[in-house]
Structure 1
Amino acid sequence: MTSINESGDGRVLCALESGVLTLTLNSPSDGNALNIAMTESLSDALESVNGMADVHCLLIRSSGRHFCTGGNVKDMQQGSDLMAGSVTEVRERLRNELHRITRVLDNLEVPSICAVNGAAVGAGCDLALMCDIRVAGEGATFAESFLRLGLVSGIGGAWFLTRMVGPSKALELTLTSEFINAEEAQRLGIVTRVVADADLTSSSFALASEIARKPPHALRMAKRLVRESAGSSLPAALEMAASMQAILLCGSEHKQVVQDFLEKQARAKQEAAL
């Protein structure tokens, strides 16, 4: 595994292996809180991904007991960090700092996987929701917990959660601020897999590696087609599918994959005949 582009303060560790770029939130002493330093480090790392031809899948994970505990309550009390200044200043800081993460994950061309251990609450829950796929350890918990502190999601969680579980359930989770465990998160479709806590890193990386082995040009198109189709009419989705398929069918990547597939089949038949 090759370590690359680590943030200057070590809050986000970056490693590239087998086409999988792993970003590790690395501030366990404060629960990997999304303060200005963490936000800048994570945004900087994410904004480089689309331009990295050797990255085919992104995996976001964390060190420590928790995935991400959201905003720092002490900063809220003191009116410091992201919360410093007037209403206008805080709003602009949220737009220019915190929303960098939201925008870049929403525009990420390669598939993204989030490995959730411990608590993913508040903005930490929303960060997980922004990824394409979520894998949770058995001990993981999720909460849209903003109302417990007299707040709403300032990073876009309402948009992602509503599309994931529907408006009614999103309202229930938001208005109650209840904590749900990994099993309930899987039942609601928030996570796709629940694994033993000890296996979370290896299972998530195995899934990311499986995805990363797919033909890279087709992989990026497949992600875009699924995401765009979710909000499109059928005619628009069919038009996009036809255009993408034509580009791929006429491309060298597809032709090479077909040739490799047929050669592999031929070798298997020869070996079976021996």
Structure 2
Amino acid sequence: MPDLLFEVKNNIATITLNRPDAINAFSGEMIDLWIEALETVRDSEDIRVLVVQGNGRGFCSGGDIKEMIAGRGFYQSDEDRISTGLKRKNSLWKKVQRVPLLLQEIDQPVIAKVHGIAFGAGLDMALMCDIRIAAESTKLSESYVKVGLVPGDGGAYFLPRLVGTDQALHMLWTGEAFDAKTAKEMGLVTFVVGDDELDDYVQKYAERLAAGPQQAMRLTKRAVYQSKEMPLRSSLDFISSKMGLVMESNDFKEGVQAVTEKRRAKFE
């Protein structure tokens, strides 16, 4: 079986990290397949929602320490003319760091379905998603400090935007593990559900989003993320342009008609 599985069913794409014996620690093959899957989602008009999950007893334990030590997988480089440190930097840029950059280009909703553990880069991969739904027994940790590493895949960017600078530094400096309930109170996860309810909850949530007005939802996502980097005037100018576009769509016409007729809208 490949280290990552990708399937699309009823307009919902699912990425499954598939190294259960290693609690889905990253491998070179996994990252290559992850990048390929994200490019497919980004470029598809048929895929409406993406769910990212882990196979086996955990979501993701982060980078594979054995591969780091051996210089294999996504840490490997053939550029013999440069220093080892620069090789590792370039390898991160071309491999692992492609994941957050591609996620930034995806307009469809992305849901992290988290169970077991999400440690280090595994937690960061969940933070890159739009919505994080965690089973109540999940443990979450920025565990880089335990092995003397820095958060190399975007944790230093995403984490303080969710929990604040002080909490982010505490997590990164100590590697403390949090349960799902505490993580929700911190703003680290969106929803916490019972372990035996996780599959059904995520499926129904994904179906709900997939049934929504797609252009309006995608433009709204773009507006929310881009507005974080914009002054108010630019944000309002951006969203007024998108409002002009969506009001010409069939989804808008259907939505207005459904409200008038007091029924649920059926969007394209």
Question: Of 106, 109, 114, which residue of structure 2 is paired with 1:108?
Answer: 106
Counterpart secondary structure, 2:95:
helix
Measure how far apart 1:163 and its partner are: 0.8
Measure how far apart 1:205 and its partner are: 1.5
Question: Of 23, 35, 39, which residue of structure 2 is paired with 1:31?
Answer: 23
**Alignment correspondent of 2:13:** 21
Task: Assess, with a 3 A threshold, how the Cα gap between structure 1 residues 10 and 83 changes in structure 2: closer, same or farther.
Answer: closer
**Alignment correspondent of 1:83:** 75
**Alignment correspondent of 1:219:** 217
Aligned 8 A contact 1:28 1:64 in 2: yes
Amino acid across the alignment from 1:37: E
Mapped partners of 2:263, 2:102: distance in 1 = 40
Counterpart secondary structure, 2:243:
helix
**Alignment correspondent of 2:81:** none
Amino acid across the alignment from 2:60: C
Counterpart secondary structure, 2:150:
coil
> What's the CA shift string for 1:241-272, capped at 9, x where partnerless?
21111111123331233234434549xxxxxx
**Alignment correspondent of 2:36:** 44
Question: Of 42, 50, 54, which residue of structure 2 is paired with 1:62?
Answer: 54
Q: State which drifts further: 229-238 or 166-175.
A: 229-238
The within-5 A match list for 1:141-160 is 141-160=139-158
Counterpart secondary structure, 2:63:
coil
**TM-score normalized by the length of structure 1:** 0.89
Q: State which drifts further: 52-61 or 76-85.
A: 76-85
Mapped partners of 1:15, 1:96: distance in 2 = 24
Mapped partners of 1:231, 1:137: distance in 2 = 32
Mapped partners of 2:192, 2:10: distance in 1 = 24
**Alignment correspondent of 1:5:** none
Amino acid across the alignment from 1:56: R
Question: Of 82, 93, 96, which residue of structure 2 is paired with 1:95?
Answer: 93
Aligned 8 A contact 1:19 1:213 in 2: no
Aligned 8 A contact 2:31 2:74 in 1: no
Measure how far apart 1:29 and its partner are: 1.2
Mapped partners of 1:223, 1:122: distance in 2 = 26
**TM-score normalized by the length of structure 2:** 0.91
Mapped partners of 1:265, 1:98: distance in 2 = 45
The within-5 A match list for 1:228-243 is 228-243=226-241
| Alpha-carbon RMSD | 1.7
Amino acid across the alignment from 2:90: E
> Runs of 5+ in structure 2 lacking a partner?
78-83
> What's the CA shift string for 1:181-218, capped at 9, x where partnerless?
10111001111111111111211121111111111111
Mapped partners of 1:233, 1:112: distance in 2 = 26
